[in-house]
Amino acid sequence: MKKAILYLLSTVLILAFGNDAFGQDKPAKYVPDDPALYKTIVAMDSVFFDAYNNCNLKLEKYASMYADNIEFYHDRGGLSSVKKDIVESTRQYVCGKVTRELQKGSIEVYGIPGFGAVEFGFHCFHNNQEPNTPSHMARFMIIWENKNNDWKLSRVVSLH
């Protein structure tokens, strides 16, 4: 009986006060530590996915934004680490067929001293050949490498 009362009391406290009932703070709204870096990465994301969305015309630009040692982790497709193969797969399966839409306000950027930055966000992909196919929000992470102010995608994690 005591266990049932304690369980009920705990549940009521959690529902009434959330995590604060146990002295835990709720996550704060994201504010960039480095607004200039944030703006740079958001701009690079825009350039990269403009090239992705228009790869019939901009495949060379798209390819140039990957580091030569790219590692692309996809929760459905596995690991791809050959730049030429990633670009060819995009040409074959994406160009003219799929477009990416960023969830506005979802990007978070954190600096990696001496290397570059990591970007987190949410986006969805639309099937242009079957416009009635529902699109689902997906999470992504991109590690950007900065060499002499030349930003490249070094590691990508795509989760659906």
Angstrom distance (rounded) from CA 144 to CA 157: 12
**Global pTM exceeds 0.85:** no
The reply to whether 10 and 71 lie within a common domain is: no
The reply to whether 122 and 144 lie within a common domain is: yes
Lowest mean pLDDT among 9-13, 18-22, 88-92, 112-116: 9-13
The reply to whether 58 and 74 lie within a common domain is: yes
The reply to whether 56 and 9 lie within a common domain is: no
Give the pLDDT confidence of 24-59 residue by residue, as tens digits: 566 789 999 999 999 999 999 999 999 999 999 999
Angstrom distance (rounded) from CA 137 to CA 34: 27
Cα 44 to Cα 6, 64, 110, 123, 152: the distances in Å are 52, 12, 14, 15, 9
The reply to whether 54 and 21 lie within a common domain is: no
Range of the domain at 16: 1-28
Residue type, 47: V
Number of domains in the chain: 2
